[in-house]
Structure 1
Amino acid sequence: MRKSIATVSLSGSLTEKLTAAARAGFDGVEIFENDLLACPLSPEEIRARTADLGLTIDLYQPMRDVEAVPEEEFGRVLRRAERKFDVMRRLGTETLLVCSNVSQHAVDDDALAAEQLSRLAGLAQESGVRIAYEALAWGRHVSTWDHAWRIVERAGHPALGVCLDSFHILSRGSDPQGIADIPGEKIFFLQLADAPLMAMDVLQWSRHYRCFPGQGGLDVTSLVRHAVDAGYRGPLSLEVFNDVFRQADAGSTAVDALRSLIALEEAADISALPSPAVPTGFAFAEIATADPLPVTTLLTTLGFRRTGRHGGKPVDLWAHGDARILVNHGTGTRDDGPSLTAMGLETADPRSAARRAEALLAPVLPRRRSDHDVPLDAVAAPDGTELFFCATRRPGHPDWTADFTASAGVTAAADLTAASDLTAAADERQDSPRAGSLTGVDHVALTQPWHHFDEAVLFHRAVLGLRPHESVDLADPYGLFRSRAMTGAHGTPRLVLNLAPGPDPDSRARAQHIALATDDITAAARRVRAAGAELLKIPANYYEDLDARYEFAPGALDVYQELGILYDRDEQGGEFHHCYTASVGRVFFEIVQRTGGYRGYGAANAHVRLAAQRR
């Protein structure tokens, strides 16, 4: 189906919005009247500009407070409408959105509303225009889609139909199933928006918190199915009022918007995409740094050892159990310090995963490689993190580890000088695994730029097939820290998306971290601390509170306090023990132990951890 977007959904001037929509790949736009009034171009020039960009103008909106008014007032409505019809003729569009009346002068009279809308439609028809009547969720007397449809049906004019808006319908909890019974030709337009589930005034909810389909909690997919079942064949159009989108780059927002419609078409069985090859785990995490010493020293204290170097790039492979970290010391800057820049995702069918990512507008990353390098498909996530689709040691697929060969002098000289003793100790420990060994990557947490959080949720959901969990607000010393976990079909991999406070968070707030699993948190903490790692210090007040809330074995809390171990327990009795290393640049590590089926991430302890890191 054709895809359209309301100009109110994007930031910038009208010409900037049109350019962003066209470059993203939209077929058309809805012109929001405020954008037209603020534009120095004439309607004819706007029409020419959209045509040059390959866009159509699918809707002009809105015209307000039209129906069920005293006759004297309706005369003024018709005069205003004539002017709007002339503007639409000059723009080259034929559909006008009319919202249900919110004025205190409106009367509760469906017969009058139908009669006046019929007269308005007659005037519109003479100008080659048709009227799409929409029920606002806060309309004074008409606030539901079925009420609007009854009035349209009663009016019985061929130039009058309904506009269905998913937010206005679903935010009120209305059942959209009956939409399938509306004659398809009477659904003149379909506007789509999602929203997080919130308990607040519906007008404020609508004006500030709408988002693109797949980013919120409304069942937009079912509504679209019902409209298509009714015979609707017009454009799928996005009308999203969102404070973040109004400030973000229009180009990236438009791409995110189109991705949401492509994914929605798949979910609504309108079109097909390559099936998601849902990741099953992490193949590796890559840390980029200009100075590898702080990173390699920390890895060594955690028990990792260097197992190879890339044949043609300054990249070392470090491993401990099933956890693998690549240290790329050919990139990065000393000002920013080490940062987590890429992840390898274990995927049953890497090529299929890449094809799906491309179909959903994920930027395909060019990869500098020699003729002997293993081919790997990679795309960029919204925050710039590179995602590689891997099939580690899986028959029939290229194995990325073949690019890394063990050899003497695998690390830079500066590394060897400072870390050789620790490396030897780590090698000795790994030769005979004991309690407290690290078994693999439990989860990875990525802090998103303030304007990419909802986009990141949709990206990882649609492109990778990960399942989003409920969003959680965490208390940071300087604001709220929003967090949302994403998991694979069987609970792994676990990826946590965080949104730090403020529009320009500092490097500490933008920190990324890798959580490593262990079967014995106490032994693990003792081992890494004995190897020289600095663990985050947690205040005594925290442990006094734990003692008040839970019962522990004698002396257990003393050990936890000594080692900086935090604790959480869920309602089913599952337990979570975790501790944190100091940060190097934007990166730190977490060591976690899960027991009893615990599925969370220690959110109850986040404020304590964040405050400790601030200190």
Structure 2
Amino acid sequence: MRTSIATVCLSGTLEEKMLACARAGFDGIEIFEQDLMVSPMSPQEIRALADRLHLTLDLYQPFRDFEGVDEDTLAANLRRAEAKFELMNRLGIDTMLVCSNVGTATIDDDEVAAAQLRRLGETAQRFGIKLAYEALAWGRYVNTYRHAYRIVELADHPMVGTCLDSFHILSRGDDPAAIADLDPARIFFVQLADAPVLALDILSWSRHYRVFPGQGGFDLVGFMTHLVHSGYDGPVSLEIFNDTFRQSNVQRTAVDALRSLLWLQDRTAERLGDTAGRYPMKLASLPPAGAPSGMDFAEILTEDCESVAALLAQLGFTFVGQHRRKPVQLWTQGGARIIINGQRATGTPASISALGFQVASPATSVERSRRLRAAPVPRHSTADEAVLRGVIAPDGTEVFFADATADPAWAAEFGDGAGAGREPASCLVTGIDHVNLAQPWQAFDEAVLFYESALRLSTSPATEVPSPLGLVRSQVMRTDDGAVRLALNLVPQVLDANGHGDARHPYAEHVAFTSNDIVTLARQALEAGMEFLPIPENYYEDLAARFGLDEDLLGTLRSLQLLYDRDGNGAFLHFYTRTVGRLFLEVVQRLDGYDGYGAPNAPVRLASQFEHNRLRAR
């Protein structure tokens, strides 16, 4: 499949955008008119740069408000178009996007619109230019792809075809199934955009909230399946209007964009199955790595190794030993393995730096991630050490893939192994339940797509949690069986008086452990000197009112700073430790099929942590 992207998707100058697209691996680009207008490069220089970068210039856009007008307006529009055709010849672009009229149309007549497009096609033919007529979702008279295609058929000119745009089709709730029945010779161009499902006017939705495929709520795999069935084999391009993307790092955004098209091709090929090879469009498939079967480890990078070790010890974890050649510790309990990494950590507050996932084939999972443009983790190991393969996630977390085994080979590198034998026979922590990762504002959608495409995690509907610093957007990603759960949190940007990030209010990440007896564990941790996150008395009064808990249970929850939730499936008990650096720990117990995360309790936790940080700052 030929991949392309509109320059409007990216930040920077036109030259910077072209360089980023070439480095990411795109085949071509669309030139957005405004990017050309503000560029100091001449059209000939842009064409020469594209040639040097091996980028095709696939489309010039947009040409607005042409059809459905009176004769005087039509004559002016044809003069305007002829100037653009001359410009396109200098650029070396042979296709122009013509948007359905939203402003100047006064004649609601398909025959008139078709006749005017035919006249435009006759002018374009002298310059060797094709016209891709697109129905804007807010077009005055033409706003569906079927209507636009009907006018193209009426125009009946070899230089007049249609452009299919997934946003304009899916945002209206239009059924894309009829795309499969269109004549592929009359489909001149295809543009893709995903978007979150919002109750918003379509124009505002389109101009600010489009995202790359896989980052929103549209069924783009279904859209692509119908497109492949049509026999179309031209460029498939991204046209994304998004405020965040247009102020983010241009190279990262370009890589994210291409990743989305690689993911989409792979998912479409999967849906087509054995029939995929019957169609002209050849879809790129990724190495068939399955979802992880479990968490192998979580790594915490910190200068303050002692404080993190103290938390683990208070929870009953066993110190297995220190790595034989690095300042790195291994702590275990049940199926949970935590690595405390003090290497090159001077001045680093405790935070999650790496996650290990158990997979059927580490080599295949790494190759899939690399094909998705993830950078490899630079890691030095000696000949007698286990090989750990990993890539870097968009937020900087290192993601490692390991064989699915209860006794990983790398664990033998820590001490003499004697520590493992000291683990109690009956462990109250049985494994890692989930990991919560804070995401920079500019990397949130990128991270969602990365974990979905590389690790094949499923997304749950995003939620928003109020905190003293603003709303925290949370996106849970997990395997179908719940063996791996990640919560990605987009946190408010807190600024100090000078407009810089305020370090007094860091958003902490955490690792949550599963327990089979959280009450006993909490009591033992309390006796070992653990400081729990304080929970206000008001919370327990509300808990009693909501759930009608008996006094004994309520008293136990209150005395141990435990939180509680219940739904139609079961109940949930959990507690939080104090924060060390930018890290805290959570212990959870799921009862009778409860599958959530105690979302009603999240505002209580955020408010308590905020108060703790505020008092500590004083």
Deviations 1:12-51 (A, max 9, x none): 1111111111110111100001111111111111111111
Residue 187 of structure 1 and its aligned partner are, at CA, apart by: 0.4
Aligned match of 2:576: 580
Counterpart of 1:274? 287
2:180/2:227 contact within 8 Å kept: yes
Structure 2 counterparts to residues 427-442 of structure 1, below 5 A: 430-433=423-426, 437-442=428-433
* Aligned alpha-carbon RMSD (Å): 1.7
The answer on whether the counterparts of 2:137 and 2:144 sit within 8 Å (CA) in structure 1 is yes
8 Å Cα contact 1:392-1:401 kept in structure 2: no
Structure 1 residues 356-371: aligned runs within 5 Å: 356-371=368-383
User: What is the TM-score normalised by the length of structure 1?
Assistant: 0.94
Q: Which moved more, 1:497-506 or 1:517-526?
A: 497-506
Structure 1: how far apart are the matches of 2:204 and 2:369?
Answer: 35
Q: Superposition pairs for residues 92-491 of structure 1, below 5 Å?
A: 92-269=92-269, 270-334=283-347, 336-391=348-403, 393=405, 399-406=409-416, 430-433=423-426, 437-491=428-482
Post-superposition CA distance 1:544-589 (Å, at most 9, x none): 111111111223222212222111112x242111110011111100
AA aligned to 2:300 is I
Q: CA 1:172–1:407 in structure 2 vs 1: closer, same or farther (change >3 Å)? A: closer
| AA in 2 matched with 1:525 | A
Is this contact kept in 2: 1:392–1:400, CA < 8 A? Answer: no
2:589 is the alignment partner of 1:593: yes
Conserved in 1, the CA contact under 8 Å of 2:67 and 2:105?
no
Residue type of the alignment partner of 1:81:
A
The alpha carbon displacement at 1:107 in A equals: 2.2
CA–CA separation in structure 2 for the residues paired with 1:130 and 1:178: 23
Q: 1:524 to 1:399 in 2, by over 3 A?
A: same
Partner AA of 2:16 in structure 1: E
Q: CA deviation at 1:489?
A: 2.9
State the Cα distance separating 1:349 from its structure 2 match: 1.3
Q: Could you tell me which runs of 5 or more consecutive residues in structure 1 were left unpaired when the two chains were aligned.
A: 411-425
AA aligned to 1:471 is A
Does residue 536 in structure 1 map to residue 533 in structure 2? yes
In the TM superposition, residue 478 of structure 1 has moved relative to its aligned partner by 1.6
1:503 CA displacement:
7.4
Give the Cα–Cα distance (whole angstroms) in 2 for the partners of residues 448 and 547 of structure 1: 35
Q: Which amino acid letter does the alignment assign opposite residue 212 of structure 1?
A: F
Looking at structure 1, the residues matched to 92 and 429 of structure 2 have their Cα atoms a distance apart, in angstroms, of 65
Q: Residue 563 of structure 1 aligns to which amino acid in structure 2?
A: L
CA contact (8 A) 2:358 2:405 kept: no
Identity, % of aligned pairs? 52
- 1:392–1:399 CA contact under 8 A, matched in 2: no
- CA gap of 1:173–1:467, structure 2 versus 1, over 3 A, is same
Cα displacement (A) at 1:308: 2.3
Deviation at 1:432, TM superposition (A): 4.7
Task: Output the CA distance in 1 between the equivalents of 2:521 and 2:262.
Answer: 46
Kept after mapping to 1: 8 A contact 2:469/2:494: no
Q: Structure 1 residues 190, 563: closer, same or farther in 2, change over 3 A?
A: same
Separation (CA, whole Å) in 2 of partners of 1:105 and 1:158: 24
Counterpart-to-counterpart distance in 1, 2:142 and 2:564: 52
* Mapped partners of 1:518, 1:559: distance in 2: 17
Decide which of 542, 554, 579 is 2:551's aligned counterpart. 554
Following the alignment from structure 1 to structure 2, what is the Cα–Cα distance between the partners of residues 547 and 107? 66
Q: In the aligned structure 2, how far is the partner of 1:138 from the partner of 1:186?
A: 23
Q: How many corresponding residue pairs?
A: 592
Q: For the Cα contact (< 8 Å) 2:69–2:104, is it kept in 1?
A: no
Q: Structure 1 residue 203: deviation in Å?
A: 0.7
Deviation at 1:220, TM superposition (A): 1.1
Distance 1:105 1:155, change over 3 A: closer
Q: Which runs of 5+ in 2 are unaligned?
A: 270-282, 496-500, 612-618
- Higher mean C-alpha displacement, 309-318 vs 61-70: 309-318
Q: In the alignment, residue 448 of structure 2 is paired with which amino acid?
A: V
